[in-house]
Amino acid sequence: MINNKKVLVIGWDAADWNVINPLMDAGQMPALQKLVENGVVGNIATLYPPLSPMLWTSIATGKHADKHGILGFTEPDANNGGIRPVYGSSRKTRAIWNILHNQGLKSNVVGWWPSHPSEPINGVMVSNFFKMVGKANNRERPLTPGSVYPAELEEILHEFQVHPLEFTSAMIKPFVPDVEKLDPKEHHVPIEGIAKILAEASTVQAVSTWLMRNTEWDFMAVYFDAIDHFCHGFMKYHPPRLPQVSEEYFNIYNNVVSGAYILHDMMLERLLELAGEDTTVIILSDHGFYSNQFRSVALPKFNSAPAIEHSPYGVVCISGPGIKKDERVYGASLLDITPTILSIYGLPIGKDMDGKVLQSIFEEPVVNASINSWDQVEGDFGTIPEDAKEDPFAAAEALRQLVDLGYIEDPGEDKNKAMENCANDNSFNLALVYMFKGNYSAALPLLEEVYQSVPDSPLYSMALTETYLALKKFDETEKLLNKISQDEESGSPKLDILWGMLLGYKGEYSESLKHLNSALEKGGSFPGIYLELGRLHQKMERYDEAVEAFNRALDLDGENAQAYLGKGTCLLKKGRFEEAVDNLLSSAGLLYHFAPTHFFLGEALFKMKLYKESSEAFEVCLIMAPRQRMAHQWLVKIYSEYYLNKEKAEIHTKYLDNNMSGTITIVSGLPRSGTSLMMQMLHSGGAEVLTDEIRQADDSNPRGYWEYEPVKALARDSAWMHKADGKALKVIAQLLKFLPPEFYYKIIFMKRDIKEVLISQQKMLNKPTDIFPVALSKSFEKEIERVEAWAESQPNVDILFVNYPELIEDPKMQIIRVKDFLTQDLDSEKMMKVIDPELYRNRI
């Protein structure tokens, strides 16, 4: 039911707690401090790529960019040729204000990026083009047509358009105290830049306060880009001084960023005063901004390069009636804002929205209804009529600003080239969205296309390499990496990382390690290298080294969700379950929308016997990754045996029945532990086996090896596994962990005294048997322990240990065990006949 609540959303592009907290501590942001004390605060995870028009549209729709269709700063301009700044009318889905319009609620929206041309909503919309007044000699510029809805407010609001030329040095002084002493020739660019940013912020604030004082509204959204713009221009001068920055410039500009935040706090105070205490206020940013050692002094030259200065966590603070006070919110994402606002109004959430309601912020639990999609609801949603006209002048002005900020290249005169570049960039951005969502198959054709179009773009080629890697297309990866390596003389750290990843996937661990160390030498320390090092050590099951690498990543970036995840999974493997849970929770708290974190959290909680909590974690995992079979398998196990819930167990069983690919019998063990014998027995007993007989019988195995050649490459390629469905397959112990999760496995694991195994192996390799390989023996013992632990943590695996000497000595009993285990009607007599005690040659 719709209620009469009021919600004010204030967008501070690029705001970051790392800058805010010291200012609040110093009492320089009292308005925000008050809001923080009376509400919930936290990090808000950005999305990728972190480009503001895409992000603010995700905030306003609750959807990723593949659904909302805003794919960059610019878009091809079909009417005039060339490109134009991205328009709000290119959005493919309804925004929060459209939904509220449909529900009879009044909204004021000011400056949202992108929101031009203004939409005819119930209320007022002032587009992001309204504030752009250009540079000098243009003080009397007419209002951009279409920037204000309703048009009758154009004249009134035009009065509040503030021009940079209005700004005196007195207004610049809070940012640059010595502005009057500066040489205008040397400093006119940054000073004019400050005036321009201030003018635009003043316009947004003036329009917003006028609307708040003179209109009735239920929802108001105000967007400021000034912090982002100030940071791109002046973060390099923010204290502490970077060694690359001269003392002179540092002294002149070191106050600009702090000044920007203080100004925003002053503006916030006025907005809060006008909103009144009954209004729920949401302040948020779309991403953070590096203010530490990751700050950039000079940016590389490619479109969207400034985005590398954006850090992954923005700020969120929510305060108002029914909202908890002085608490933290964990795991918030930009995608959650629209669902949460709908929840505040008592409106249903669209099932097609990617975000969730931030339930934990409410004092009382809220019950959320849902509908399939607001886009399928008939009726008036206050959207732009198809024939809406654009203003080429305004578009050119906005485009100029993007060029000035370094977000896009100057399109110059060549309109066609600009259009082509823009189309490529937007395809690339869409591919990045798919990659962020883990949908590499969808990213692949887009990346192949843009790479073909611009083969010398390192951005495109690196992303394509990453995608090939993720899809385990190793040949393509290697080919592309070789090509990139040829093009680059010295090779970048990124290239070394990719080589390291490829070799790691291929199991060439020491070579992989060399490349990662080389990346460290070339690129210095950055978290990405340590993440890959950690992952490599993890693959090598060197968990202590992996934890150390993840810790190094965390030393450099204490908010690195992937590092916490890596550390958590290593600790899980080491059986340090409580620590694993702590780290996995830290990861989820930073980056909630990442299914693997919840999966491993579920596993760690299960090990701690916290079955209810474990089931909740797996359920969250399935919300994000509904086809994660292993999460379904875990839930069947938990609901059937530990935290009983027959109904839920049935739901997941049904899913698995419909989606599991089948059951495979695996015969495993260390080499020379009787695996070939077991394969023969199964075959003789009537079971179908998968073998290619490429490896011929020899003296060591006179009755054959019963192997299947592709198994050797199981770590890299398991696409053939369906051929083993319903059959028995021999897989050595070391490769079990690479079995793909879409099958159930019945594993018959052959056990034999390690000494016997080793002597048999030494003989087979024509090595002396009088020198016992102690280290190898320990390694094999450890392998068996690993298999036991692994099997225990695989919900799709049943394992039966068969002792080789017992099989030889009492075959009847062991055959009964095997038949029971496989629930197959095998011919015991025929199985028995295969066993030849004379072949048990290395008995100790």
Question: Reduced to 3 DSSP states, what percent helix, strand and coil does the chain have, rounded to the nearest 5?
Answer: 55, 10, 35
CB atoms within 10 A of CB 378: 6
Does 267 engage in binding with another protein (CB under 8 A)? yes
* DSSP 8-state class, residue 159: T
Q: Which is nearer to another protein, 257 or 469 (CB)?
A: 257
Site string for another protein, 144-173 (x = CB under 8 A): ---------------xx-x---xxxxxx--
- Contact yes or no for 223/131 (Cβ under 8 A): no
Q: Confirm or reject binding of residue 666 to another protein (CB under 8 A).
A: no
Contact status: 140 vs another protein (CB under 8 A): no
Count of Cβ atoms closer than 10 Å to residue 275 Cβ: 19
Identify the CA nearest to 669 among candidates 760, 787, 750: 750
Residues 173-202 binding another protein (CB under 8 A) are: 174, 198, 201-202
The minimum distance between CB 198 and another protein, in angstroms, equals 7
843 SS3 class = coil
With contacts defined by CB under 8 A, how many residues of the chain interact with another protein? Answer: 25
Q: Which is nearer to another protein, 213 or 646 (CB)?
A: 213
- 371 CB contacts (<8 Å, ≥6 apart)? 348, 349, 350, 351, 377
- Of 10-18, 136-144, 262-270, 478-486, the window that binds another protein (rule: CB under 8 A) is 262-270
- What one-character-per-residue DSSP string does 661-697 give? -EEEEEEEESTTSSHHHHHHHHHHHT--B-----S--
CA 256 from chain centre, in angstroms, equals 32
Binding residues for another protein restricted to 269-288, rule: CB under 8 A = 269-270
Residue 629 CB, shortest distance to another protein, in Å, is: 55
Q: Which is nearer to another protein, 267 or 353 (CB)?
A: 267
**Is position 22 an interface residue for another protein (rule: CB under 8 A)?**
no
Q: Could you tell me the smallest distance in angstroms from the CB atom of residue 31 to another protein?
A: 10
Q: Does 301 bind another protein (CB under 8 A)?
A: no
Closest approach, Cβ 607 to another protein, in A, equals 54
User: Which residue lies nearer to another protein by CB, 214 or 482?
Assistant: 214
- Quote the crossing angle between the two packed helices 458-470 and 474-487, to the nearest 10°: 160
Q: Residue 168 Cβ, how far from another protein at the closest point, in Å?
A: 4
| Closer by beta carbon to another protein, 32 or else 553 | 32
The one among 43, 52, 103, 205 contacting another protein by CB under 8 A? 205
Q: Which is nearer to another protein, 9 or 96 (CB)?
A: 9
Closest approach of another protein to the CB of residue 651, in Å: 54
Nearest alpha carbon to residue 196 among 128, 115, 133: 133
Residue whose CB is less far from another protein, 201 or 498: 201
Minimum Å gap between C-beta 171 and another protein is 5
Are the beta carbons of 584 and 564 closer than 8 angstroms? yes
Shortest Cβ distance from residue 281 to another protein (Å)?
A: 16
Binding mask 418-447 for another protein (x = CB under 8 A): ------------------------------
Determine if 208 is a binding residue for another protein (CB under 8 A). yes
Tokens of 256: 């600009």
As measured in angstroms, the least distance from the Cβ of 268 to another protein is 8
Name which of 202 and 583 has its Cβ closer to another protein: 202
For every residue of 591-655, which 3-state class applies, written as one string? CCCCHHHHHHHHHHHHHCCCHHHHHHHHHHHHHHCCCCHHHHHHHHHHHHHHCCCHHHHHHHHHH
Contacts for 475 with CB less than 8 Å, ≥ 6 apart = none
Could you give the string, one character per residue 209-248, with x where binding to another protein holds by CB under 8 A and - elsewhere?
A: xx--x-----------------------------------
Per DSSP, helices labelled H in 385-439 are 392-404, 415-436
Residue 260 as a binder of another protein (CB under 8 A): the answer is: no
In whole angstroms, how close is the CB of 466 to another protein at the nearest point? 44
Rounded distance, CA 581 to CA 600, Å?
Answer: 9
> Should residue 653 be labelled a site residue for another protein when binding is judged by CB under 8 A?
no
The nearer residue to another protein, 198 or 818, going by C-beta atoms, is: 198
**Phi, psi (rounded to 5 degrees) for 393:** -65, -50
Exposed e or buried b per residue across 451-472, where buried means at least 16 C-beta atoms within 10 angstroms of its C-beta: beeeeebebbbbbbbbbbbbeb
- CA distances, 475 to each of 82, 268, 280, 457 (Å): 38, 55, 55, 21
**Shortest Å distance, C-beta 331 to another protein:** 33
Instruction: Quote the least distance from Cβ 308 to another protein, whole Å.
Output: 30
Residues of the shown chain interacting with another protein in the complex, contacts defined by CB under 8 A: 159-160, 162, 166-171, 174, 198, 201-202, 205-210, 213, 263, 266-267, 269-270
